[in-house]
């Protein structure tokens, strides 16, 4: 796990599009709303297609619950399937996220800001997480506002909290992988985000 530090209202960071956090052994954990955005980007009708077509896999995360993760390609090296390499004006290779900006997973969009939620104590903590061990963006002096970032992603952060509450219920019910897929991660991708019910029965 990459270590993290506390973060203040002002933090220094600017992404250089080096793609280090989109390659190798990086793990991109997804929320239900990320599945919704990603599925819509791919013109799927149901979130299940993300799993059936191999874009996303379920991995047992913390607390023994099954959570969705982007399935990285493995050849010719490990990389996110949404990464696209391009040449900039100076002829340098840069990594572009095809999901940027509106379909990008929350964890990628918020980087380097991470969130630690305790659903029982109802606490939220924001921390500085280096997107990759060799991320050059952390050396940049560009100043950013945490409050502004949280405002920009308020809706998605609310969806994320709701998702964590569903995961708590799934944990109590000890949902197996097949049931998790069916009850938590299979839902229609219409014009309105319709996540599963509060009680995945």
Q: Does 35 bind ligand SF4 (CB under 6 A)?
A: no
Nearest distance from residue 43's CB to ligand SF4, in Å? 17
**SS3 labels along 31-70:** CHHHHHHHHHHCCCCECHHHHHCCCEEEEECHHHCEEEEE
Applying CB under 6 A, the span of 53-61, 75-83, 163-171, 189-197 interacting with ligand SF4 comes to: 75-83
In order of 57, 142, 196, the CA distances from 52 in angstroms are 9, 41, 19
Gyration radius of the chain's alpha carbons: 17
Residues 135-174 that bind ligand SF4 (CB under 6 A): 135-137
Distance of CA 46 to the CA centre of its chain: 19
Residues 88-107 that bind ligand SF4 (CB under 6 A): 97, 99, 104-105
One of 20, 31, 47, 180 touching ligand SF4 (CB under 6 A): 20
What SS3 class is residue 114? strand
Q: Does 131 bind ligand SF4 (CB under 6 A)?
A: yes
CB 80 within 8 A of CB 22: yes
Q: Does 129 bind ligand SF4 (CB under 6 A)?
A: no
Q: Does 21 bind ligand SF4 (CB under 6 A)?
A: yes
Q: Does 82 bind ligand SF4 (CB under 6 A)?
A: yes
Binding-site size, ligand SF4 (CB under 6 A): 24
Nearer to ligand SF4, 18 or 157 (CB): 18
CB 33 within 8 A of CB 106: yes
Identify whether 82 is preceded by a cis peptide bond (ω within 30 of 0): no
Q: Does 30 bind ligand SF4 (CB under 6 A)?
A: no
Residues that bind ligand SF4 (CB under 6 A): 15-22, 28, 70, 80, 82-83, 97, 99, 104-105, 108, 111, 131-132, 135-137
């Amino acid at each position: 796990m990459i270590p993290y530090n506390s973060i203040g209202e002002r933090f220094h960071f600017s992404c250089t599009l080096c793609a280090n956090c989109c390659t190798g052994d990086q793990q991109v954990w997804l929320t239900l709303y990320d599945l919704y955005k990603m599925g819509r980007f791919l013109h799927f009708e149901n979130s299940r297609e993300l799993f059936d077509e191999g874009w996303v896999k379920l991995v047992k995360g913390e607390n023994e619950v099954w959570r969705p993760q982007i399935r990285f390609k493995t050849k010719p090296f490990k990389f996110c399937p949404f990464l696209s390499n391009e040449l900039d004006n100076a002829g340098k290779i840069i990594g572009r996220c095809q999901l940027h900006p509106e379909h990008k997973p929350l964890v990628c969009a918020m980087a380097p800001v991470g969130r630690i939620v305790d659903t029982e104590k109802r606490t939220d903590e924001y921390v500085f997480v280096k997107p990759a061990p060799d991320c050059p963006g952390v050396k940049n002096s560009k100043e950013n506002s945490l409050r502004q970032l949280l405002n920009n992603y308020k809706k998605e952060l609310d969806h994320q909290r709701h998702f964590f509450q569903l995961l708590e219920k799934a944990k109590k019910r000890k949902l197996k992988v097949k049931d998790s897929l069916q009850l938590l991660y299979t839902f229609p991708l219409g014009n309105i985000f319709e996540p599963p019910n509060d009680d995945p029965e």
